[in-house]
Amino acid sequence: MKKRIRIKDIADKAGVSTGTVDRVLHNRGKVAPDVKKRVLAVMDELGYERNLIASALAYNKQVRIVALLPNPTQDPYWQQTTDGVQQAIKAVQHYGLLVEPVYFDVFDAKDFLVRAKELLQTKPQAMLFPPLFLEAAGWLLEACAAAAIPTVLINTQLEQGKSLCYIGQDSYQSGVLGARLLDFGLQQGQTACILNLDFQTASAQHLHKKEAGFRDYFSAHPQKQIQIIRQDFEGFQDVNKCLVFIKQLLDTHPKLAGIFVTNSRAYKVLECLKQLPERNIKIVGFDLLEANLEHLHAGEIHFLINQNPVEQGYEGVMSLFKHLILKQPVEPLQYLPLDIVVKENVDYYLQRHATLEVLGKTL
Amino acid sequence: MKKRIRIKDIADKAGVSTGTVDRVLHNRGKVAPDVKKRVLAVMDELGYERNLIASALAYNKQVRIVALLPNPTQDPYWQQTTDGVQQAIKAVQHYGLLVEPVYFDVFDAKDFLVRAKELLQTKPQAMLFPPLFLEAAGWLLEACAAAAIPTVLINTQLEQGKSLCYIGQDSYQSGVLGARLLDFGLQQGQTACILNLDFQTASAQHLHKKEAGFRDYFSAHPQKQIQIIRQDFEGFQDVNKCLVFIKQLLDTHPKLAGIFVTNSRAYKVLECLKQLPERNIKIVGFDLLEANLEHLHAGEIHFLINQNPVEQGYEGVMSLFKHLILKQPVEPLQYLPLDIVVKENVDYYLQRHATLEVLGKTL
DNA sequence: TTTCTTTGTGTGTGCGAACACACTAAAGAT
DNA sequence: ATCTTTAGTGTGTTCGCACACACAAAGAAA
């Protein structure tokens, strides 16, 4: 082991006490400028690195943070994110980080705001949330900044600067990738559909970026002359409405041969397709939800792109752990990989979810 | 924070001292059977979990382990594994784990044996290596077992039992996946080639498994009537020999339209193809080597399957860290995901390599 | 009985950092 | 002239655990 430099070593060499070195380290002030300079010089010379283990042990404080998440019972996608957060909670709960999950109605921006305001009253020391509702999230970010509460954003990327970090996928690129994957199954002159099964209000720009990526891919690959259409549909919760919509979509576009479902609800489309006369439609969707996996195994979903919702939740909490407890710097932009998932490699991604490590992942 | 149960809490409740609890915890013996039973009962009742942070701090011992790896200058694939090991070394060096990398000639089983024997003399407290040479590796495993030296295997899977854990890909399944990916680019009646650019001695069974997976996929999908051939070629280091070989391969099989290169040397094939009259051959290969990435970006490699060599090295060392320092249980079989990589998602995997975390990954 | 082992148990110290607290000296207030 | 304040610094305790050591009791050998 390279002999580790301790605070005491610095203190000795600089001719001060460990207390002074500590004050320099933590910017607690009350150090004479020349002494501070000397200490810093010695630290630099000896190459001091904080011993995270000893540091974490001695920093014996409780930190309470809040994870404001969509109600997981409303959407299996958010269930996965919640799972990731829960795993992280288990990992860090004994080390001074108390994570309080709070759920809002995924379809209701007002509910998000109400919860957010309530939570701010309780003065958490950090917040984690997906900024699904642009305005409300913007307001919350401002409020947190004003109260000096660090924030971690997941799932939906806003411009950087206001938050400690963003963890999630690169939407634009996921659109490009979706196009590439769908392209494998398309023939000359066929039609591909970008399908937004969502409420417009929620994550609008998010989806726009995916669309842009998708279109840009086909612009850059005009050989097959694929025609691209886009459909937005909000009634996906009602099976009958959904059926009518899909039927009409197919009827209107006889050359339609591929659908890019821009979020995790590809299974909704397949529920409908099954009830209609068979037609060879390639589907590219997102995320390893149970419902999607069934169709993937049945060969009805062509590809799934894994946005790693579990990891988003897990890494989100872990980033705050690093920031607040370990006091390590945090990477402000953490794009998670866009995993291409087919039947033949899905197991390994599912397995990974099962074993996100505890002390294994953060020490 | 859930009030953490400490050793002292157990001691109090069981009416013994912390020293006794400690002896029970670490099986140091010298505890009366009835006392031991009582302590265990209390531990169970209160749900004790060791505080890994305090534990790691107090366990103030130096542990030396050895990583016996192929010479990274001989093969860029092993350079990546070495990179992962190096990153892990940085992460753990201050926490009592001294990792000593030693390199052997990747083409020479004898060299492996010689190094292994030398290393055994130095009595390392654990070993990490890829069992490339079946016999030599088997011998080393036995020797380590005899000396009670735990071993971690990476890259090439042997039957479990002799080692602490295996970290790497599932070879069979990677063959299946390779077939699936190649299948996208093949037409009715074409020929696909399994190409082993390797020395037979090294990793023979490893490659056999890939072949089996590959063949099984096409057996299960006979619709396109793909004919499968296999070629082994050892002269891949000599550009001219290689060219002759590829030329002959193409000439002999006019319907050849896809090549599955079973290791990371797909770029070798492309070097040759470029010098031959153009012919549309789909290539599926392994691993994100610089040379492969160039061809991926140029669209000449159809797909790459990422076997995560960096992670193999990194996680290998980390597993030993967990075992030896943190004394956490280690998952004996750690299949890394088989990432499907195309131009559109490659960046995220490369980025991940750059940011394998330090304390971030193991706490 | 005395002495030596063996077995079982408690005590004490160290790990490195964080932080509360005590203390000093000098400046400022009354 | 005395008291108060404050900047600057050192000391000591704490965190939870690991492990060496001390020590007692009980049994064995003399």
- pLDDT tens per residue across span B258-305: 999 998 999 999 999 988 888 899 999 999 999 999 999 999 999 999
Distance of CA B40 to the CA centre of its chain: 37
Tell me which CATH code domain A63-169+309-337 carries: 3.40.50.2300
Asked if the model's pLDDT at residue A354 lies above 60, the reply is no
Which CA distances in Å does B290 have to B76, B265, B267, B294?
8, 11, 9, 6
Q: How many residues does chain A have?
A: 363
Nearest to B96 among A1, A173, A177 (CB): A1
Of B49, B94, B337, nearest to A4 by CB-CB distance is: B94
pLDDT band at residue B142, thresholds of 50, 70 and 90?
very high
Gap between the Cα atoms of A216 and B194, Å rounded: 35
Closest CA-bearing residue to C1' of C17: A55
Q: In this structure, what are the phi and psi dihedrals at residue B218, rounded to the nearest 5 degrees?
A: -75, -25
Residue with tokens 């051939």: B229
Domain with CATH 3.40.50.2300 in chain B: 63-169+309-337, 171-306
Average pLDDT over residues B16-36: 89
B348/A336 touch (CB, cutoff 8 Å), yes or no: yes
Contact B286, B307 (CB under 8 A): yes
Q: Is B346 exposed, middle or buried (0-12, 13-18, 19+ CB in 10 A)?
A: buried
**Domain A171-306 coded CATH 1.10.238.10:** no
* Whole-number pLDDT of residue B326: 77
pLDDT score of B203: 58
Residue A340 pairs in a beta bridge with A305, B340
Helix (H) or strand (E) segment spanning residue A214: helix A204-220
Q: What is the pLDDT of residues A216-236, one digit of tens each?
A: 999 999 999 999 999 998 888
Q: Is A59 on the interface with B (CB under 8 A)?
A: no
Token pair recorded at residue A47: 């190459």
CATH number assigned to the domain covering B7-50: 1.10.260.40
A111-132 pLDDT, tens digit per residue, is: 999 999 999 999 999 999 999 9
Of B322, B345, B355, the CB nearest to A340: B345
Q: What 3-state class would DSSP assign to A119?
A: helix
Residue B360 has pLDDT above 50, yes or no: no
Q: What percentage of chain A reaches a pLDDT higher than 70? A: 94
B336 reaches A (C-beta below 8 A): yes
Q: Is A233 helix (H, G, I), strand (E, B) or coil?
A: strand
| Structural contact between residues B276 and B246, judged by C-beta atoms closer than 8 angstroms | yes
Residue A94 contacts by C-beta under 8 Å, 6 or more apart in sequence?
A: B1, B2, B4, B49, B51
What pLDDT score does A313 carry? 95
The whole-angstrom separation of Cα A214 and Cα A228 is 9
Which protein residues, judged by their CB atom, are less than 7 Å from any atom of strand C? A 4, 6-8, 18-19, 22, 25-26, 48, 50-51, 54-55, 57-59, 61, 327; B 11, 15-20, 22-23, 29-33, 35, 57-58, 60
- φ and ψ of B191, to 5 deg: -110, 140
CB B243 within 8 A of CB B275: yes
CB within 8 Å of chain A, chain B residues 228-287: none
Residue B205 reports pLDDT greater than 90: no
φ/ψ of A101, rounded to 5, equals: -80, 135
Partners of A6 on chain B (C-beta within 8 Å) are: none
Shortest CA gap B361–chain A (Å): 3
Q: What percent of chain B has pLDDT over 70?
A: 94
**Band of the pLDDT at A357, cuts 50, 70, 90?**
very low
Please give the nucleotide, over all strands, whose C1' is closest to the CA of residue B19: C10
Query: What count of other Cβ atoms lies within 10 Å of the Cβ of residue B362?
Result: 25
| Residues of chain B contacting residue A337, judged by C-beta atoms under 8 Å apart | 339, 345, 348-349, 352
How many angstroms separate the CA of B238 from the C1' of D17?
Answer: 58
Residue tagged 């057996």 (tokens) = B219
Q: For residue A264, give the DSSP letter.
A: S
Give ranges for CATH 1.10.260.40 in chain B: 7-50
